[in-house]
Amino acid sequence: HGWAGMMHLLAVLNESIGDERLTDLVDDMAARTLAQFHPEHRFGFRAPLTSAPQGTDVPAFLEGATGTALALDAYADRRTTTDWDMALLVA
């Protein structure tokens, strides 16, 4: 699921652990994710989990721009509990 998915899962884990190293890692993953944004792409982010070397424009929840946007939204609001966590069996 890329940097955004890992970022969210580590933020959820760190809610229980409270380790500054994980906080720093989550911040780094957010920066890496944001660096992948390109306004010329159809959805801003391209899905790297395809056979196309340059990625493809996918609006999907799990491997596309929608999931990336949801994870970044949760990060920006410092939320580790979201409505969509249940679908990922995280809640």
| pLDDT averaged per 10 residues, the chain (length 91) | 85 93 96 91 78 70 82 92 80 69
Cβ count within 10 A of residue 18: 8
Model pLDDT, residue 83: 82
| Calpha distance 54→33 (Å, rounded) | 16
Model pLDDT, residue 48: 67
Model pLDDT, residue 61: 73
Model pLDDT, residue 50: 59
List 56's β-bridge partners, or say none: 47
| Calpha distance 83→69 (Å, rounded) | 14
H-assigned helices in 1-91: 2-17, 20-35, 65-76
| Calpha distance 35→20 (Å, rounded) | 23
Model pLDDT, residue 45: 85
Model pLDDT, residue 47: 75
